[in-house]
Structure 1
Amino acid sequence: MSEAVVDNIVAVLPPLLQTLESLSYVARNLNPPDFGRVMEIAGEPDAALQTVQPRLADWPEKFAHVKNALLAASDAALAGYAGLRAVENGQGDLVSVFRALRYAPRAQEALYPLVAQLPPVSQFFVAPELREDAALLAKLEAPANDNTGIFHERNEPGSRGGFSLYVPEYYTPDRAWPLVVALHGGSGNSRGFLWSWLRDARSRGAILIAPTATGQTWALMGGDTDTPNLNRILDEVGARWTIDSQRMLLTGMSDGGTFSYVTGLDGASRFTHLAPVAATFHPLMAEMADADRLRGLPIFITHGQQDWMFPVQTARQTQQLLSAAGANVTYRELDDLSHCYPREMNAEILQWLNQGSADGA
């Protein structure tokens, strides 16, 4: 690269990556009464990004792909922060906050193609505690293997029933790989929810599927069109990549977590582990579940004490009900978590999955 292009990248990347981290901080710590305090802690990295973004103009044509990726990521990150600032200034509500936070995964999707060219971008998509892991870094620095990376199958924004997929770039078919199937929340889309798990799947070596519900949310009542669709997706992915049939995790946030119970407790389910997050659970689910399926089934429940949508008492009762029914339940209650996705739990969930069973703690 030319010296001028390198200088521009060096100027733009730090505030861009910091703005994305700050958006992630807001998403993780969002609790309506604390919004102002959370925004104050998140700071103003967007101001620095706005200052340097003009340096993304007038690059040589041969570097257009780098410029365009950085520009798209910056535009999305700034749009997200602008939406948050509007609510902070009294223009908008909680729905506006969620709408603003949807720009964060769009920015990450735009940025990810640069992992092979820009080491700071690659490092951003590594779990922080593994950024000094020499063996992992060597694998990530090597050329990507065939049939790896990010794929979107009939999963454009606004579509239903498709899926997004991530296969680690160092994947090889000579061994079986753990599978994570992550279900988005109500009215969401998996193309965005993929990024809740991608950093950990990339860092710890798991194939990741993020399906989109066939309806506006998962089939929690009435006819179930989602379970057949999940099985179709499993068939498609299993035909192309080597999946460990003993390490197939179904997880999800909010409605996605609730649906992981609905479909995962069925006797015909192919998933070996369930990990609902911020989900609700009706006692009838335990009564209607297949008794043989429940016996010894590893289930990892994560819930926040501050959850304003599904009170934490529901999760505590769920732990008791499922344990009494014979499931092997691990329960994690986070005192600072509202109705948000706690990305920091992914590492523990993957460790639990790779151990083969929950510890019951």
Structure 2
Amino acid sequence: MSGARDAAGEAIGRLVPAVLDALAVLEHAARRVDPETLGALAEAVRQRESPLGPALAASQALDWPEGLLPVRDSLHGAAEAAMRGIGTLGGVMETPDPLRAVSRALREYGPACEALYPLAAFLTPVNRFFLTEAAQQDAALVVALSRPGREGTGTMALGGPPGTRGGASLYVPETYDTALPSPLIVALHGGSGDGRRFLWTWLRDARSRGCILLAPTAIGRTWSLQEPDLDGTNIARLMAQVAEGWSVDASRILLTGMSDGGTFAYLHGLSAGARFTHVAPVAAAFHPIMVTLADPLRLRGLPLFILHGAQDWMFPCESAQRAAQMLAAGGAAVRHEEIEDLAHTWPREMNAALLDWFLPCP
């Protein structure tokens, strides 16, 4: 038995860094998706030698001890999803629709993280992967997250299995303290996405800063932009469910979103009765009529952080510039930033800046 455990330990030692390396590749690729450079990106991924395939094959050939089967299943699930993503990414230029293919490739990042995350409390490299670089320097936090969280913390689904239309994925930090109300981030996926996958765009930062993270899934294929009350009512219901189960800081509730999710953040976040204290649309479309639909009293003094890529090929940056000008004229406290090298994708490196703006100084 000790020989089997030793072999399994060696397999873990090979698989963990290989999986984390593959996830880093997918993160890097997601940040750099651009029709102009997609061919070069795909070729770089295709030419890159990954240790993941051999590590997974060696692990699959082992007879794992029964007590380590949950570890094996988590690692194999993460490895298989990451390999699918990288394999698809490397071949996108051979498909009829490369942009659609790259979207399929990058969607594997979420399931890979979902499979891997249960090991964060037991394996130091996994724990550190799901922390920001700044949080990795906080020894007390790293130790606190190196053990299983209490019941009611970690990742979970609301309203059905993860990805269910009209449901949500939820993360409650393992360091959650009922006596201390937690900030809440509500993060809206892009068109045809879902909350199950979009959760992982924000989880590392929420975990590092002690924020509850709610990632709803639109009722339809995308957000109800023509009927904002439809998804808006559902989001409010999900937020109420979170507030009933956990202590939420009502003075710190952020609504953010990407692409269609960012556009819906304008529509829902600026409406009368919305509970969000801060709104941050990213890579979103904006039409002047949205100002007329916004509640003037709510708009007055509302902190708005508008992020957009100067290379955005779907919604030109002029859309964000117009939004910043018109909403500031309406009384909002607008911060507007254009990222020079960003196309139509999420700027993961800006999560920290968004949270610095959203959260009070410690």
TM-score with structure 2 setting the length: 0.94
Partner of 2:55: 52
Counterpart check, 1:35 vs 2:29: no
Partners in 2 of 1:129 and 1:95 — Cα distance?
34
Partner of 2:13: 10
Partner of 2:82: 77
Identify the range of structure 1 (333-342 vs 222-231) with the bigger mean alpha-carbon deviation.
Answer: 222-231
The structure 1 residue matched to 2:98, chosen from 75, 90, 93, is 93
Post-superposition shift, 1:245? 0.4
Partner of 1:121: 126
Matches within 5 A, 1:220-299: 220-222=225-227, 224-299=229-304
Kindly tell me the number of residue pairs found equivalent between the two proteins.
356
Post-superposition shift, 1:133? 1.7
Post-superposition shift, 1:303? 0.3
Partner of 2:357: 352
Change (3 A) 1:123 1:45: farther
Counterpart check, 1:175 vs 2:175: no
Partners in 1 of 2:46 and 2:24 — Cα distance?
11
Counterpart check, 1:303 vs 2:308: yes
Post-superposition shift, 1:92? 4.6
Partners in 2 of 1:216 and 1:143 — Cα distance?
35
Identify the range of structure 1 (2-11 vs 85-94) with the bigger mean alpha-carbon deviation.
Answer: 85-94
The structure 2 residue matched to 1:25, chosen from 28, 38, 42, is 28
Post-superposition shift, 1:154? 2.8
Residue deviations 1:309-336 (CA, integer Å, cap 9, x gap): 0000110111111111110011111011
Indicate conservation of the 8 Å contact 1:18/1:45, yes or no: no
Residue 204 of structure 2 aligns with an amino acid whose one-letter code is: R
Residue deviations 1:206-255 (CA, integer Å, cap 9, x gap): 00000011111111113631111111111110011000000000000001
Partners in 1 of 2:73 and 2:291 — Cα distance?
51
Residue 250 of structure 2 aligns with an amino acid whose one-letter code is: S
Indicate conservation of the 8 Å contact 1:19/1:45, yes or no: no
Residue deviations 1:187-207 (CA, integer Å, cap 9, x gap): 111100000000000011100
Residue 310 of structure 2 aligns with an amino acid whose one-letter code is: Q
Indicate conservation of the 8 Å contact 2:281/2:305, yes or no: yes
Partners in 2 of 1:184 and 1:177 — Cα distance?
22
SS, match of residue 355 in structure 1: coil
Identify the range of structure 1 (53-62 vs 81-90) with the bigger mean alpha-carbon deviation.
Answer: 81-90
Partner of 1:339: 344
Partners in 2 of 1:235 and 1:176 — Cα distance?
15
Change (3 A) 1:275 1:30: same
Post-superposition shift, 1:159? 2.9
Residue deviations 1:147-202 (CA, integer Å, cap 9, x gap): 10001123536631000000000101101110000000111111000000000000
Residue 16 of structure 1 aligns with an amino acid whose one-letter code is: V
Partners in 1 of 2:15 and 2:334 — Cα distance?
46
Residue 128 of structure 2 aligns with an amino acid whose one-letter code is: Q
Residue 231 of structure 1 aligns with an amino acid whose one-letter code is: A
Residue deviations 1:117-151 (CA, integer Å, cap 9, x gap): 11111111111232122122122124412310001
Partner of 1:359: none
Indicate conservation of the 8 Å contact 2:42/2:91, yes or no: no
Indicate conservation of the 8 Å contact 1:86/1:92, yes or no: no
SS, match of residue 105 in structure 1: helix
Indicate conservation of the 8 Å contact 2:163/2:195, yes or no: no
Counterpart check, 1:112 vs 2:130: no
Partner of 1:214: 219
Change (3 A) 1:179 1:74: same
Runs (5+) with no aligned partner, structure 2: none
Indicate conservation of the 8 Å contact 2:259/2:284, yes or no: yes
Post-superposition shift, 1:42? 5.0
Runs (5+) with no aligned partner, structure 1: 357-361
TM-score with structure 1 setting the length: 0.94
Residue 11 of structure 2 aligns with an amino acid whose one-letter code is: N
